[in-house]
Chain A
């Protein structure tokens, strides 16, 4: 590649006095001053959250009100800062969701450890844990900063997906049982 020598022009007299540039700078700042502020007045005005934002991790229900989490503990194992603690529990036989077999007895996410990496959401086979839009967590004690199962579902709400994976599985099992084939 050829070397292009750019000639540096000597500054003109006016340029050396700085004055035209100072005037231009004053014009710029004045224009800036009469424009509306760029900032948000935070507690009253909230920023628009973009799609795919990784906020506080939460647990969700499916549209039928079933806990999606089956306490497989994959998120607990993948969590880099070890913020998640799950106590797995059996679902009672007389429960409507007995065919799902397991759900968490307790689910705790320590928000003082969480790094909002989203690996738990990535790894979840049930799409039960979601990093949602909440970005502000506060508390007066360490205990307050640990989200338990109740709080996680409060934050999470319901995920409007229509997979109903477990219901389909149950229906398929029942159909197979009726057919009596290969079971």
Chain B
């Protein structure tokens, strides 16, 4: 059915795949901003944006026609989808002034630099899997490489440069302070984050096997048969998952760790001087980081595309194939796997927003104390305990 696709030149195929993923990630990240507004509204007892409706006349006619579909149109309007489109249009077309006192080259470079790590880390995230003809599980990912997580960390930590660049190029006090805070915070929490995932890979790379840092293999090791094979790592390594989650909050600059932005004391932090399209690039990059970060958390600790602990994707597909034979085609299998995975990621996006409207933000010194004096020792202790435990279990 899809033979014609596999006959295309490899380069073209990769280009197409990459474009598709970016075209999915970019609107998804933008849609997160509407989710944020809706969830904040619901938590605060408001309905949230539910008014915007495009006119049927003029160049917005296609959108207007969608809006006039009886039930769907009202539903889309209620969920602020047209507001999202209007916001997108506004950010794209409004005047984008460059203040006179900034360093123009770096000022314009910064938002672009923020998009690069945000959109390229997704290449290493497997977001689904299907069984090929030989009944082997094949990951759906742009780049299925053995360095996996290392590549994500390496690229993801480049994101801080764009914040520093923005803060410095803005050439004024508040953005500068925001940039400095961003660098300090991201570096502090990256340590705990990296240390917290080590037990997972110590366990996955059992002696005798082939060494790997691939995220696909981590999911594979959570979908083995048997009681211990099917447990998710969030159950066997709760402390690791907890530290990773907290560090993820800090790495994505989410409340309660929104030091780079600090809208309470730094106006807008590193993006104070930005507006219109450049600002929205920072915004989308932040949400893209959230999506990729949640994805990695799901892969590492929540069994990736396995629907439930002890119920692997293979079991689900075999069970479903009895009812619906068409499920057994690669396309359907991949769609089911991607659906399950995106569902988990969606929950985490919701969790990020839920926490944002629950917790007050930390003070800067509290962020540093938490990072260096609490999380880092905890993650080192966690690593030592698990290293000894895993060594004992795997060499028995």
State the CA gap A26–B39 with chains docked (Å): 13
Cβ contact within 8 Å between A29 and B358: yes
B362 to chain A, nearest CB (A): 10
Decide if A37 touches B43 in the complex (CB within 8 Å). Answer: no
Chain B, residue nearest A31 (CB): B43
Is B377 engaged at the interface, CB distance under 8 Å to the other chain?
A: no
Given A22, A33, A39, A41, which contacts B43 in the complex, CB threshold below 8 Å? A33
Contact at B45–A29, with CB atoms within 8 Å?
no
State whether A39 touches B47 (Cβ < 8 A): yes
Q: Are B358 and A25 in contact (CB under 8 A)?
A: yes
Q: Is A94 an interface residue (CB 8 A)?
A: no
Contact A29–B47 (Cβ < 8 Å):
no
Confirm or deny: A38 has a beta carbon within 8 angstroms of a beta carbon on chain B.
yes
List B contacts of A35 (CB < 8 A). 45
* Nearest-CB residue, chain B, relative to A28: B358
With an 8 A cutoff between CB atoms, is A30 at the interface?
Answer: yes
Q: B46, B50, B354: which contacts A30 (Cβ < 8 A)?
A: B354
* Nearest CB in chain A: distance from B358 CB, A: 5
A38 and B354 in contact, given A22-B359, A25-B359, A33-B39 (Cβ under 8 angstroms): no
Check A46 for interface membership: any CB of B closer than 8 A: no
Contacts of A38 in B (CB 8 A): 45-46
Find out whether the CB atom of A37 lies under 8 angstroms from the CB atom of B358.
Answer: no
Name the B residues within 8 Å of A39 (CB-CB): 45-47
- How many angstroms between the C-alpha atoms of A30 and B42 in the bound complex? 9
Q: Output the nearest chain A residue to B356 by Cβ-Cβ distance.
A: A29
Decide if A182 is an interface residue (CB 8 Å cutoff): no
B357 touches A (CB below 8 Å): yes
Q: Is the CB of B358 within 8 A of A22?
A: yes
Cβ-defined contact, A26 with B355, below 8 A: yes
A37-B47 contact, Cβ under 8 Å, with A29-B354, A30-B354:
yes
**Residues on the A chain within 8 Å of B39, using CB:** 33
Residues of A within 8 A of B46 (CB): 37-39
Residues of chain B within 8 A of A34, CB atoms compared: 42
Assembled-state Cα–Cα distance A142/B344 (Å): 58
Residues of B within 8 A of A25 (CB): 358-359
- Provide the B43-69 mask, 1 if CB < 8 A to any CB of A, else 0: 111110010000000000000000000
A33 touches B42 (CB 8 A): yes
Cβ-closest chain A residue relative to B242 = A19
> Bound complex: CA of A22 vs CA of B358, how far in Å?
8
Q: Of B47, B355, B359, which contacts A41 at CB under 8 A? A: B47
Tell me if A93 counts as interface (CB < 8 A to partner B). no
The residue among A25, A29, A35, A38 with the most chain B CB atoms within 10 A of its own CB is A29
Interchain CA distance A23-B358 in the complex, whole Å: 10
Cross-chain contact A26 with B42 (CB below 8 angstroms) = no
A32 touches B47 (CB 8 A): no
- By beta carbon, the residue of chain A nearest B48 is A37
> Are the CB atoms of B358 and A26 closer together than 8 Å?
yes
Kindly list chain B residues whose C-beta atoms are within 8 Å of the C-beta of A33: 39, 42-43, 354
A14 to chain B, nearest CB (A): 14
User: Given the complex of chains A and B, what is the CA–CA distance between A45 and B256 in angstroms?
Assistant: 36
Instruction: Tell me the complex Cα distance, A30–B46, Å.
Output: 14
Knowing A22-B359, A25-B359, say if A32 contacts B45 (CB, 8 Å).
Answer: yes
Which residues of A lie under 8 Å from residue B357 when comparing CB positions? 29
How close is A27's CB to chain B, nearest CB, in angstroms? 9
User: With the chains together, A122 CA to B138 CA distance in Å?
Assistant: 83
In the assembled complex, how far is the CB of residue B53 from the closest CB belonging to chain A, in whole angstroms? 14
Q: For residue B47, which residues in chain A have a CB less than 8 angstroms away from its CB?
A: 37, 39, 41
Write the chain A residue with the least CB distance to B51.
A41
| Shortest CB distance A159–B (Å) | 39
Report how far A25 CA is from B359 CA in the complex, Å: 8
User: Who on chain A is nearest to B47 by CB?
Assistant: A37
Bound: A34/B42 CA distance, A: 7
A38 to B44, CA, bound (A): 8
Inter-chain CA distance A51–B46, complex, in Å, is: 27
Q: Mark A1-43, 1 if CB is under 8 A from B, else 0.
A: 0000000000000000000001001101110111101110100
For chain B, residues 11 to 47, give those with C-beta under 8 angstroms from any C-beta of chain A.
39, 41-47
Q: Which B residues from 338 to 369 make CB contacts under 8 A with A?
A: 354-355, 357-359
Q: Contact residues of A with B, CB < 8 Å?
A: 22, 25-26, 28-30, 32-35, 37-39, 41
In the A-B complex, list the 9 residue pairs whose CB atoms are closest, starting with the nearest: A38-B45, A33-B42, A25-B358, A29-B358, A37-B47, A33-B43, A29-B43, A39-B46, A26-B358
26 examples of A-B residue contacts, CB within 8 angstroms: A22-B355, A22-B358, A22-B359, A25-B359, A26-B354, A26-B355, A26-B358, A29-B43, A29-B354, A29-B357, A30-B354, A32-B43, A32-B45, A33-B39, A33-B43, A33-B354, A34-B42, A37-B41, A37-B42, A37-B45, A37-B47, A38-B46, A39-B45, A39-B46, A39-B47, A41-B47
Given contacts A25-B359, A29-B357, 20 further A-B contacts (CB under 8 A): A22-B358, A22-B359, A25-B358, A26-B354, A26-B358, A28-B358, A29-B354, A29-B358, A30-B354, A32-B43, A32-B44, A33-B354, A37-B42, A37-B45, A37-B46, A38-B45, A39-B45, A39-B46, A39-B47, A41-B47
Binding site for A on B (CB under 8 A): 39, 41-47, 50, 354-355, 357-359
